[in-house]
Amino acid sequence: MIVFRKNDRERGPGEFIQRLSLIAGELEKDPLDRERARDLLIETGEFEAAIADSLFRHEDSQNRLTRTLRTVSLLAGGVFLSALRRRVEGAGYFLMMFSRALDAVRPFRVPQRLAARIPEGYAHYGLYPEMYVKAAEDFLRDNSPARAVVIGIRSIGTSLSAAVSAVLQEAGCEVWSFTIRPRGHPFNREVIASEELKRAIGPFMAGPFLIADEGPGLSGSSFLAVVDFLLSIGIFEENMAFFPSHAGEGATFQSEEAARRWAGLKKYVAPFEEAGVLEFSAPDCMDISAGAWRGSLYGREEEYPPVNPMHEQRKYLLMDSGHGAGDNPLFLKFLGLGLYGRAKYIKSKKLAEAGFYPRTESFENGFLKREFVPGSPLAKSGISSGFLEFAADYFAFTRNNFMEEKGTSFDENIAMIRENVKDCLGPGWEKALDAVQKKFSHILEDSLTFRIDGRVFPHEWIKTGTGYIKTDSECHYDDQFFPRSQEMAWDIAAFIVEFGLDGGARRYLLDAYKKKSGDKHIEEKLPFYFIACLSYRLAYCELSSMGLGEGPDAGRFRAACRRYRPLLAESLESI
């Protein structure tokens, strides 16, 4: 099933170096700017990972360039730790050394275009390097190594391992560090390393070996691939320490054997709440992440929409009225660290200024801070012409203000549809799928794409005392799931499906949208996007129901599948 979609950014090495030099220059003016120091660490890690991935496509190794880049990342880790510790002299020293090491990269010949994989934890899931600093401090509390090997699992492990290394080096530990990328099927990865890299580990065989990455995900295979690699070169498992993003013991792993192995590993995990990322007192703060927000909107659990807690951003309510406007609390939502969050914040401000979104206060430390407006989520029944007018205004505003130069292509949509129809409806649909591709390839060949909403479920639309607002509008064009930036017809088709609009209500919405947006061909495109959004949504619900076991949300996702499946079949048969 195609549910996730990798988000790579293509940049030249000169662009990376220019960007890193700019951040370093800003830090020279304020060495204790923690957010910019974190940006430096994250973007240096992206650069190093992109170079390593381009050079070592089939097996991991090292050369003068990658050793130099590892030094650059470790120095960025020193800058970040110094800013975190509020040590001006240390930050100044590491910044000076960072700039010198970065200059040493310039003479190397490297590919002119690099695919930088977006680190999902930083961009979507509220993962902070501060958490790994705290975990490394916990490791030092239990151990006092004179020397250690720190391994980063690319991509995000590149910068996370630099943060861990900085803590060890601060304590006087000699650190040798490198990065690797496990390869193969997501549920059965392996590390393929050159003999040169294996020989380089030789002087450090006594360890300990510290391995940093986000996750584990559904299989734990990246971490376990590193275990197998280290075992194969003579490292004992008791001499390994793992730094994941959460302490789960593998209960949701697809393999019982993987879950058993993962449970036996030595792990150091610092929860988000202990990393000092947000500064507020616990009595004033309510954590409404992982679907807990539903308790504030619904009176009975039977009314809850399904939620996969692993796929939700961190969310909080600040209850002290002194924080907010009037008596309303403030809502905090993770948008992404650094440049990943800033673009989404700009979108949220534009929507707020246009009256579609609650008043936006600020964007700090990766979190959007906005007013929490009380109200009731919409239901499928009782949709008024006033609400349809608001929805048409919202879709037209998105189309007129958030064009995206490079979004999801027709070919990508077709590939997703074919895969998900095969997996979710079974065989026998090839003729219908061929007809879909033939009919719409011409109609959609010149389609524009936009930073769509991507989540237009009834519970995302709130009726307030003065009208309506749309929530959760800024993120999903740039998350790790498939829709990404799309033709506006995706959102409108999904809206019609989720609200069950037919007859007069559908006609009213489309007429209002065409008038406000100038999108005269929306109805020609809709049949394709009914198929596209239903194919995606059915696959997402199937995957989530499997991953959540037998809990109530798994049941809710299975119920959603029972609704989407006949709608998808009907849409295919109508072409």
pLDDT reading at 321 higher than 60: no
Alpha helices in 116-170 (DSSP H): 120-123, 129-142, 157-170
Lowest mean pLDDT among 152-161, 243-252, 357-366, 409-418: 243-252
pLDDT of residue 121: 92
22: confidence class by pLDDT, cuts 50, 70, 90? very high
Q: Are 493 and 533 in contact (CB under 8 A)?
A: yes
Mean pLDDT score of the chain? 93
Determine the average pLDDT of the residues in 23-51: 97
Phi, psi of 392 (to 5 degrees): -65, -40
Closest CA to 102 of 32, 187, 27, 165: 27
Closest CA to 233 of 267, 184, 265, 191: 191
> Cα 297 from chain centroid?
25
322: confidence class by pLDDT, cuts 50, 70, 90? low
pLDDT of residue 405: 86
pLDDT of residue 324: 45
Q: Convert the pLDDT of each residue in 3-20 to its tens digit.
A: 988 777 888 999 999 999
Closest CA to 166 of 141, 140, 142: 140
Tokens of 520: 């005269």
CB atoms within 10 A of CB 266: 13
Q: Beta 240-243 vs 285-287: how paired, if at all? A: unpaired
Lowest mean pLDDT among 265-274, 451-460, 487-496, 562-571: 265-274
Q: Convert the pLDDT of each residue in 391-426 to its tens digit.
A: 999 999 999 999 998 899 999 999 999 999 999 999
**Cα–Cα distance, 425 to 417 (Å, whole number):** 11
Determine the average pLDDT of the residues in 49-65: 96
Q: Convert the pLDDT of each residue in 270-315 to its tens digit.
A: 988 888 887 665 567 889 999 999 998 898 999 999 999 989 999 9
Lowest mean pLDDT among 58-62, 270-274, 529-533: 270-274
Closest CA to 526 of 480, 553, 494, 569: 494
At position 371, the amino acid (one-letter code) is E
Q: Hey, is 542 helix, strand or coil? A: helix
pLDDT of residue 436: 97
All residues at 6 or more sequence positions from 416 whose CB lies less than 8 Å from its CB, including other chains: 2, 482, 532, 535, 536
- Per domain, the residue ranges of the chain are 8-274, 282-371, 376-573
Determine the average pLDDT of the residues in 510-517: 98
- DSSP letter string, 199-267: HHHGGGTT--EEEE-S---SS-HHHHHHHHHHHHTT--GGGEEEE-SS---STT-S-HHHHHHHHTS-B
Q: Which secondary structure element, helix H or strand E, spans residue 149, and what is its range?
A: strand 147-153
**Cα–Cα distance, 370 to 359 (Å, whole number):** 6
- CATH fold, domain 376-573, is Aminoglycoside 3'-phosphotransferase; Chain: A, domain 2 (3.90.1200)
Q: Hey, is 11 helix, strand or coil? A: strand
Closest CA to 23 of 85, 72, 69, 60: 72
pLDDT reading at 195 higher than 80: yes
pLDDT of residue 281: 56
Q: Are 133 and 170 in contact (CB under 8 A)?
A: no
**Cα–Cα distance, 536 to 560 (Å, whole number):** 12
pLDDT of residue 252: 65
Q: Convert the pLDDT of each residue in 100-117 to its tens digit.
A: 999 999 999 888 889 888
- High-pLDDT (> 70) share of the chain, %: 97
Q: Convert the pLDDT of each residue in 219-258 to its tens digit.
A: 889 999 999 999 999 999 999 999 999 877 665 676 888 8
> Cα 500 from chain centroid?
30
pLDDT reading at 326 higher than 80: no
- The alpha carbons of the chain give a radius of gyration, in whole angstroms, of 25
pLDDT of residue 549: 83
Tokens of 403: 């064009």
pLDDT reading at 92 higher than 80: yes
The packing angle between helices 489-499 and 522-547, to 10°, is 60
Q: Hey, is 63 helix, strand or coil? A: coil
pLDDT of residue 231: 97
The packing angle between helices 34-55 and 13-29, to 10°, is 160
Q: Are 298 and 291 in contact (CB under 8 A)?
A: no
